[in-house]
Amino acid sequence: MRIGILGGTFDPVHVGHLVGAVNARHLLHLDTVLLVVANEPWQKVEARPVTPASDRLALVEAAVAGHPGIEASSLEIDRGGVSYTADTVAELAGRHPGAELFLLVGADVVSGLDTWERVEQVRSGVTLVAMSRPGTAPVDERADVLRGWRVVSIEIPALEISSTDLRARAADGRPLDFLVPEPAIRVLRARRLYADTTMDSSSSGC
Ligand code: ATP
Ligand code: MG
């Protein structure tokens, strides 16, 4: 079994995540890609308020529902506390003996790999899949930060979209349509996430 792990805060999930996941799955013949929703993302909790994990998970579940080979994972939420990839990799390896694990990361994440908690444990447990994304140079597999990693560098369609931009859009009432899958937008509206200005332009009135 070949399992892809795409960890993230998903605050909120968007088509950039999903296009990355389906393309990595296709290119690397993965049986499944898990979108692992961070419980407490150690890199982000200090910097800004993060949406409750249960809401972020509900958005990812809605976004991937019915899509073969792409799954929402609550593993880090169920574990609780601060989310470390090292623990997630160990848990998946334990649950799926003999499986090959592929850790999918956007190119922006690669430069910070050496700051990860117990990075050597992650390095020995996975093949790193570095996905080129907008605004970043293609990943150089020989870069210092990647020494000792098994690395596959893949190109995915460049989608200039980030959760940061989506939160700003939602906060000032710009549409999220086609940037976030429609079922996830419905959850986002029902739960009044990202301020109450998440209506599309057709329903915003004057
Ligand atoms: P934020 O703006 O809050 O940092 P984000 O859009 O970067 O959010 P994350 O949850 O931080 O989303 O990202 C999870 C993973 O998805 C990371 O590996 C990141 O590099 C990758 N990713 C995010 N946006 C894209 C995109 N547009 N294309 C490809 N990969 C992406
Ligand atoms: Mg990010």
Q: Which of 122-136, 139-153, 190-204 has the lowest mean pLDDT?
A: 190-204
d(CA 173, CA 183): 18
CA distance 191 to 180: 15
Give which of 201, 206, 198, 7 is closest to 89, Cα–Cα: 7
Give domain status of residue 177, yes or no.
Answer: no
Mean pLDDT of the chain: 91
The whole domain housing 110 covers 2-67+74-159
Distance 206 CA to ligand 2 centre (A): 34
Question: By C-alpha distance, which of 101, 91, 104, 94 is closest to 23?
Answer: 104
**Ligand 1-lining residues (CB < 6 angstroms):** 8-11, 16-17, 20, 105-106, 108-109, 131, 133, 156, 159, 161-164
| Per-residue pLDDT reduced to its tens digit, 102-115 | 999 988 888 899 99
Q: Is residue 30 part of a domain?
A: yes
Q: What is the pLDDT of residue 200?
A: 45
Distance 88 CA to ligand 2 centre (A): 18
**Which pLDDT band holds residue 136 (cuts at 50, 70, 90)?**
low
Res. 137: pLDDT tops 80: no
Write down the pLDDT at residue 205. 35
CB 140 within 8 A of CB 14: no
Number of domains present in the structure of the chain = 1
The domain that contains 26 carries what CATH number?
A: 3.40.50.620
**33-37 average pLDDT score:** 98
Average of pLDDT values for 29-33?
98
Would you state the pLDDT for residue 39? Answer: 97
Report the relative pairing of strands 70-73 and 100-106 from DSSP bridges.
unpaired
Indicate whether 123 belongs to any domain.
yes
